[in-house]
Amino acid sequence: MTTIARIRDLSLQGLAVIGSLAILTLMLHVTTDVVLRNTINQPVPATYEIVTNYYMIALAFIPLAWVEKSGGMVNVEAIEPFLSLRLLWLSDRFVAVLSTLIYLALAWVTFEASLKTWDAGTFVLAQNIPIPTWPASFLPPLGFLLAASVTAARIVAPLGKTQEDWTVTHYTTEPEE
């Protein structure tokens, strides 16, 4: 395994931990809010604002790289059955380059928007308490940048496989049972 693949895999494992912590924190926060609301009629202030402006953004954008790595994105393979192995190899590289460029463009645009929200000090009011929302605006560019790193690594080796593995696992001529 190359150093780049190891770094990518460690980063994705870190993302899995962050995602797990975000889900656990979300569940704990919402459960605490529901219990307090129903037992002592005192909900946790700003639960709705924190869930929508932090947890949901983190849960939507941070896993992008993991989904890319696991092959969970939509694949349209309309012409691939008709291509030679060499053209399939080139097609996969082209798609990886295109995906990387799109993710980088999205990262750039969302990063610029994040800087504007940071400069403005964007916040929402919840029960007359200002909740800053600008920190969460940096999560989409982070997610897009990490997804771009995964697709960029795919340019060198699709899903971290060797050419022989790629040929055997993707395009065998034996019928499936």
Which pTM does this prediction carry?
Answer: 0.76
pLDDT for the residue 166: 47
Q: Above pLDDT 70, what percent of the chain?
A: 85
What average pLDDT does the chain have? 82
Rg (CA), the chain: 21
Rounded alpha-carbon distances, angstroms, from residue 164 to 33, 81, 161:
54, 18, 8
Dihedral of CA 48/50/56/57: which sign?
A: positive
Q: What is the pLDDT of residue 114?
A: 94
Residue with tokens 């097609």: 91
Q: Which of 17-26, 79-88, 147-156, 168-177 has the lowest average pLDDT? A: 168-177
Between CA 166 and CA 28 the distance in angstroms is 43
- Encode pLDDT of 129-175 as tens digits: 888 988 889 989 988 998 998 888 888 876 544 455 445 455 444 44
- pLDDT at residue 18, rounded to an integer: 80
If we measure between CA atoms, which residue out of 53, 81, 97 comes closest to residue 171? 81
What are the domain boundaries of the chain?
A: 3-170
